[in-house]
Amino acid sequence: MTPDPKSERRSERARRAILDAAFDLVSRKGFAKVTIEAIAAQAGVGKPTIYRWWRSKGAVVLEAMNEELGDDFAFPDTGDIAADLTTQITAVTQRLITGRISEAFKGVMGEAQNDPALMKAFRETILEPSIAECRARLDSAVAAGQLRSDVPTDVMVDLFYAPIHYRHFLGFGDDAVRRSADLVQDVLLGLQPRSDAG
């Protein structure tokens, strides 16, 4: 995220203050009503300090969100793929809906629709690592004979995750998003290995 992290002299204090202010403001006022000026003011920082290290408001908020999320994309593995998927998807929806992440996520994704660089950063730092973890778990389920082997696991990932984001971005409401985990069973039906044809 940091365009030029080379400098050793960068003030960690300022960086933290900016990310904290950004996250707090977005959570409280909504992404659209937050300005870089307001972030700078709340962080007790000059605007140029923000522009020096980030390209846009979206970039700041994405990094703030990343810090909030942490690096933990690990997928549970109890041996029961259906249970593990349900667990994980429930966790994701909770974080998306009730968590403090919600506003930041919607804001960043809205912005990213018109900002390819921001979209790229989001995918690289959040989406793709998390997809990779999911695929790894699905691969092991395929190897265990719990899932069909003739459907690519990246397609499976899409099938499991799509409903969450579909409902989230198209305004179906928090309850609908929260119930996304219920679809896991229906999707799984189509992905079970079958002796009796295809």
Partner DNA sequence: CTCTAAGCGAGACGGTACGTCACGTCTTTAA
Partner DNA sequence: TTAAAGACGTGACGTACCGTCTCGCTTAGAG
Q: If we measure between CA atoms, which residue out of 110, 101, 97 comes closest to residue 174? A: 97
Residue 124 to residue 130: CA distance in whole angstroms: 10
**Which of 8, 12, 70, 114 is in the footprint of a copy of itself by CB under 8 A?**
114
- 93 backbone dihedrals φ, ψ, rounded to 5°: -65, -40
Q: Is 183 in the site for a copy of itself (CB under 8 A)?
A: yes
Shortest CB 41 distance to DNA, Å = 8
If DSSP codes are grouped into helix, strand and coil, which group holds residue 56?
coil
Residues that bind DNA in the complex, under the rule CB under 7 A: 7-11, 13-15, 17, 35-38, 40, 43-49, 51-53, 56-57
Of 8-37, binders to a copy of itself (CB under 8 A) are: 30-32
For residue 159, CA distances in Å to 74, 80, 97, 129, 185 come to 19, 18, 20, 17, 11
**Which of 119, 133, 140, 178 is in the footprint of a copy of itself by CB under 8 A?**
119
- Of 10-18, 60-68, 69-77, 112-120, which segment contacts a copy of itself by CB under 8 A? 112-120
Q: Is 159 in the site for a copy of itself (CB under 8 A)?
A: yes
